[in-house]
């Protein structure tokens, strides 16, 4: 398998799974800066294992300012060792989540102030690697930001686990989140 690594500044790196050092449960491990050439102020925010780079699969990325971007997974099949630009991102924005989708699925974005929006993944058209993306959620306050993203299946009933900064958590059926259009303000979660 291939391990895709996405950084906070919108860069993507890849490595084969067998190149990641294997260690015991109590071992310290190896720093990511020894595996990939991270730039100053950059940190790894998402890891996605990929068995095969199929035609119908997409990489969906979300930033803290509410921008989402959907790109074909095949565009990430040949990544240089120095990495590639997965998403053009503004200086005051950071990548917060990356998911791989196939088929009919919905995306759910959650914000720091407790708002969430659910919309169809088809509402975001596929874009090239260096594109910026489109608005996924319209943030209500200046201090609000996207903190998480989930892929929700339309076919199977599921629950969403929401955890707050203070440690409180709850499970909510995904059917409680209405499917809206991309770019709305969302509902209280």
pLDDT at 129: 87
Q: What is the predicted pLDDT for the residue at 104?
A: 83
Residues of the chain with pLDDT under 50: none
Quick one: three-class SS letters along the chain?
A: CEEEEEECCCEEEEEEHHHCCCCCCCCCCCCHHHCCCCCCCCCEEEEEEECCCCCCEEEEEEECCCEEEEEEHHHHCCCCCCCEECCCCCCCCCEEEEEEEECCEEEEEEECCCEEEEEEHHHCCECCCCCCCEECCCCCCCCCCEEEEEEEECCCCCEEEEECCCCCEEEEEHHHCCEECCCCCCEEC
């Amino acid at each position: 398998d291939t391990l895709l690594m996405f950084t906070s500044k919108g860069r993507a790196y890849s490595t084969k799974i067998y190149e990641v050092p294997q260690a015991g449960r109590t071992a310290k491990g190896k720093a990511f800066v020894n595996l990939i050439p991270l730039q100053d102020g950059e940190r790894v925010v998402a890891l996605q294992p990929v068995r095969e780079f199929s035609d119908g699969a997409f990489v969906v990325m979300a930033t803290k300012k509410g921008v989402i971007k959907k790109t074909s997974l095949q565009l990430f099949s040949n990544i240089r060792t120095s990495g590639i630009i997965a998403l053009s991102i503004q200086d005051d924005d950071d990548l917060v989540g990356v998911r791989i989708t196939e088929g009919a699925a919905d995306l759910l974005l959650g914000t720091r102030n407790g708002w969430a929006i659910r919309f169809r993944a088809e509402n975001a058209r596929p874009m090239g690697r260096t594109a910026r993306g489109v608005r996924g959620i319209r943030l209500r306050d200046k201090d609000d930001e996207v903190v998480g993203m989930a892929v929700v299946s339309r076919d199977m009933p599921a629950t969403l686990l929401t955890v707050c900064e203070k440690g409180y958590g709850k499970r909510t059926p995904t059917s409680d989140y209405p499917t809206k259009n991309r770019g709305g303000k969302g509902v209280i979660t």
